[in-house]
Structure 1
Amino acid sequence: MHIDFTPDSDLYPFRSRWFDSTAGRIHYIDEGSGTPILFCHGSPTWSFLYRKIIVELRDRFRCVAIDYPGFGLSQRPPGYGYTIAEHATVTGELVDHLGLDQFVVFGQDWGGPIGTAVATERAERVRGLVLGNTVCWPVQTWTQKTFGRVMSSAPMQRRILRDNLLVERFLLAELRGKLSAAEAEHYRKVQPSPEARVGISVMPRQILGARPLLERLATEVPARLGTKPALLFWGMKDMAFRPAACLPRMRETFTDHQVLQLPDAGHFVPEHEPHRIAEAVAARFA
């Protein structure tokens, strides 16, 4: 399934590029030159999430942002499972196709596990990490587990597919007042039908379903990436990845870390504080 939507060039001022992965045709952008940064989005977002950060960084960095299959402008391929492990495989294929070396992994939400899964397999090619409001270990809090179970239930899955619940009631509700009407439509129009929303419907089920991968990352990330320079940015009003529950372990995971606390930001941090994040990335990795 192909998404028939062309982003507004004023809001998303990038050239769309395409890569035929083993899973299907995926969309990505590749802007600027310098140290590569691989932007890995979460759910129910796409590379549009990082547009303001990329605009600020592309004069100093090579910014590569992917849309996983089932997200953004990428295909919704038949037979694809939309699991975190599959997204990591496809993202890794793009990294190898582009020959990225000494690259920085940037991940928020599910972009953290996906990006670190790519990075652990290519640790010698990774310069550093930028991670925010995410984890790279199995979820442990009662609220996260409950959210996963509730959103995986048949009634909620129907609402995700039929009503675009994750976009309307979580993403856009949090960002009310932060996004223009046109920006909000860029999140809606890439999920225009129940058939187009299968990918985002799988993500809540992966909170528990991705446990084998997350258990592996809990060991491999500290072992293979733990000494890499890391920037940890955190929306301190995020109820999903609460700072007290996540930041201490993140600090322990990366010995050479800096922390950017964003007191007024919620879960979708790149929409709340793009300028401050871009400044911190430039200061850390320029």
Structure 2
Amino acid sequence: MARPGFTPDPALYPFESRWFDHPIGPVHYLDEGEGPPLLLLHGNPTWSFLYRGIVIRLRKHFRCVAPDLPGFGLSARPSAYGYTPGDHARVVGDLVRHLDLRGLTIMGQDWGGPIGLRVAADERPRMRALVMGNTWFWPSEGRAMNAFGYVMGSAPVQSLLRSRAVFVDRLLPLGVLHPLAPEVLDHYRQPQVEALGREGAAEFARQVMAARPWLSDLEDDVERVLSDLPLLLTWGTRDPLFPVSLIDRFRVVFDRVSVERLEARHFIQEDAPAEISRAIAAFLDPATANPGPANV
């Protein structure tokens, strides 16, 4: 079972690694702190490293669980695995049941949003609240998103994505307002050095269009099962693929929506970890609304 051959720098990633022995292979995750559980789900091309600044700030008051989806971060790169959002949602659901998380808040960004909402709908009795940022839960629409999906799913681009770490080298730097330090960018690049480490990122890109039926089913279930859950939107206002107008799509479905607008691009956890942490703390427990500074 292929696994990445690198070790994160503890100065940047000062956490204890844990492993979930799943049938598809070892799934890496963080489980830091005590208190109400907060499940933090990454998208493409990131991993739990994305949430380091939030985990550092919130683990004093919350149990922060942040997995690496199969094919990402330190998790296994199984060859007999689809790497679709549906596949990932099943694995994350298995982890939630394995850890028996109850009174759960799920945060999702990018593909972590629809994956997290799928898990929330499937595990509704366990749920307390939702935090979503620069994400979606419906079949792709709009000129920018559809163009992105068609281009990323084309055969030439798919071949390129599987041969090089394009998302990390080209698109990740464009998705942040503040340039990433070389050592931070390297922590995103290292999991994709080997070919199997690029499979998940390439398939996520293809799934923007290919997952339309799955997203359509998810949209129905979100409206049917999750609309009464309190929702916090932590939204980067400088993201061209996920403009602030999408906030209204969430407001139509959810009964109780709070919004924290961020001076951030797509990867909000890199641009605004302190602001996100304060917003989550105030949303879930006002007594912890100032979780304190962090050096990460």
Q: TM-score range by the shorter chain?
A: over 0.9
How much has 1:64 moved relative to structure 2? Answer: 0.2
How much has 1:178 moved relative to structure 2? Answer: 3.2
How much has 1:177 moved relative to structure 2? Answer: 4.3
Q: Does residue 247 of structure 2 align to residue 247 of structure 1?
A: yes
Specify the alignment match of 2:257 in structure 1. 257
CA contact (8 A) 1:178 1:272 kept: no
Q: Does residue 67 of structure 2 align to residue 66 of structure 1?
A: yes
Specify the alignment match of 2:176 in structure 1. 175
Cα distance change on mapping 1:67 and 1:10 into 2, 3 Å: same
* Equivalent residue pairs, number: 284
TM-superposition CA deviations, 1:71-90 (whole Å, max 9, x none): 00001112101000000000
Report the 3-state secondary structure (helix = DSSP H, G, I; strand = E; otherwise coil) of the residue aligned with 1:34: coil
CA contact (8 A) 1:56 1:275 kept: yes
How much has 1:57 moved relative to structure 2? Answer: 0.1
CA distance in 1: counterparts of 2:167 and 2:155, whole angstroms: 15
Specify the alignment match of 2:282 in structure 1. 283
Specify the alignment match of 1:101 in structure 2. 102
Structure 2: unaligned runs, 5 residues or longer: 286-296
CA contact (8 A) 1:25 1:75 kept: yes
Report the 3-state secondary structure (helix = DSSP H, G, I; strand = E; otherwise coil) of the residue aligned with 1:137: coil
How much has 1:207 moved relative to structure 2? Answer: 0.7
State the superposition RMSD in angstroms.
1.1
TM-superposition CA deviations, 1:30-73 (whole Å, max 9, x none): 00010000111000010111100010000000000010110000
CA contact (8 A) 1:70 1:197 kept: yes
**Mapping of residues 39-118 of structure 1, within 5 Å:** 39-118=40-119
How much has 1:175 moved relative to structure 2? Answer: 3.3
CA distance in 2: counterparts of 1:181 and 1:272, whole angstroms: 15
CA distance in 2: counterparts of 1:11 and 1:222, whole angstroms: 39
Report the 3-state secondary structure (helix = DSSP H, G, I; strand = E; otherwise coil) of the residue aligned with 1:82: coil
TM-superposition CA deviations, 1:163-189 (whole Å, max 9, x none): 211111110233374321111110011
CA contact (8 A) 2:177 2:271 kept: no
Specify the alignment match of 1:269 in structure 2. 268
Structure 1: unaligned runs, 5 residues or longer: none
Amino acid at match of 2:261: Q
Amino acid at match of 2:41: C
Specify the alignment match of 2:161 in structure 1. 160
Seq. identity, %: 46
What TM-score does the superposition give when structure 1 sets the normalisation length?
0.97
